[in-house]
Structure 1
Amino acid sequence: MARIILITGGARSGKSSFAESFYKDEDDVTYIATSRITDEEMKDRIELHRKSRPLTWKTFEGCYNLCDAVTHCKNYLLDCITVMTSNIMFDMSKDFEKIPQNLQSQIEDAAFNEIIKLIEKIRIIDGNLIMVTNEVGDSIVPENHIARVYRDIIGRINQRIAKVCDEVYIVTCGIPLRLK
């Protein structure tokens, strides 16, 4: 039976380590990486992530057509939804200083639909999917429009995804708490 899990928490809360721990004894894993190399710092971060994963794990890199990552493996780990969404948001709104409401909805739906298609394909193969996301709305309200739009989109996407998951965890200070 397929198992779909969402893990959320703040930056450096231990989300990714907790997600990876589910597969610590598995070789049959595809890691779905959504980051892009945009500068030297991001290049270094991605390289550290690559080195920390077992050599037996396969990697799929991208923000679009995530369901293409599903092949013969049984276990999948997507890290992370917030980075994927920011990339999609940038691609769709890079020419706007203020993002109109209809475009905000399109961005949210585009990101959510990527996840739903992935979940559907995982369920078809009776696989397992662990997804990592961030809680971005637990602090002060951002002062600029783009950051507020991003926070709102992520909050709504996280809610929508959590509804379709079998399990949901929040990680704080490296300690996971099961919510669902």
Structure 2
Amino acid sequence: MGKIVLVTGGARSGKSGFAESLFSGTKEVVYIATAKIYDEEMKQRVELHRKSRPSEWITYEGNYNIKNAVVDKKNYILDCITVFTSNIMFDITKDCEIISPEKQREVENTIMTEIKSLIDKIKAIDGNIVMVTNEVGYSIVPENHLARVYRDIIGRINQKIAKLSTEVYLVTCGIPRRIK
């Protein structure tokens, strides 16, 4: 049976590097990248990420139908759930000033449907997946409604994914600790 691994931590804590190290020396990896390039800074960040990965790894970019990233390879990295969540959240709520509990459930259900479909397809081939996410609940309560809703949604999503995972790691200051 393959592994389902969740890697969490704060911004710039070393999560992605640790996630990638779990497949160190493995050539057959599909990297599912969820970032959208909106400006020059994001373009540079994405380019740095691409250059840091082994050239043999396949990159799949997207936020919907991510199960389509599953090909004839056994190893997958989804980086990152936090960006994935914000992209889908903004797609669904772009015209909302106040995001109702019903809309929040719609966002969560959409995200979990995508992730569950991906995990199920990887399980079907006895593959492995490492998912990266941010822990956003350690700071102060955000001042604005949108930020509070986002924090709450990603917190609930992370809990659901952790329950599905066989291993969970918390990365702090570049130091990973297995917590499940």
TM-score range normalised by the length of the shorter chain:
over 0.9
* Distance in 2 (alpha carbons) for counterparts of 1:75 and 1:53: 14
Give distance in 2, aligned partners of 1:161 and 1:97.
Answer: 28
Cross-structure match for 1:73: 73
**Partner Cα distance (1:46, 1:176) in 2:** 23
2:48 matched residue in structure 1: 48
Counterparts in 2 of 1:89-128, with a 5 A limit? 89-128=89-128
Aligned partners of 2:55 and 2:173: how far apart in 1? Answer: 28
Q: Identify the residue that residue 17 of structure 2 maps to in structure 1.
A: 17
Unaligned runs of at least 5 residues, structure 2? none
Q: Cα distance, 1:85 vs. partner?
A: 0.5
Identity of aligned residues (%): 65
**Residue-pair matches, total:** 180
Stretches of structure 1 that go unaligned for 5 or more consecutive residues are none
Query: Deviation at 1:112?
Result: 1.2
The residue number in structure 2 matching 1:164 is: 164
3-state SS of the aligned residue for 1:97? coil
Write the distance in 2 (CA, Å) between the matches of 1:97 and 1:144: 11
Distance in 2 between residues matched to 1:15 and 1:163, nearest whole Å: 19
Per-residue deviation, residues 19-67 of structure 1 (Å, max 9, x unmatched) = 0001110000000000000111001100111111111000000011010
When normalised by structure 2's length, the TM-score is: 0.99
- 1:137 aligns with 137
In 1, distance between residues paired with 2:166 and 2:179?
Answer: 10
Structure 1 segments of 4+ aligned residues over 6 angstroms from their partners: none
Q: Distance in 1 between matches of 2:136 and 2:40?
A: 24
RMSD: 0.5
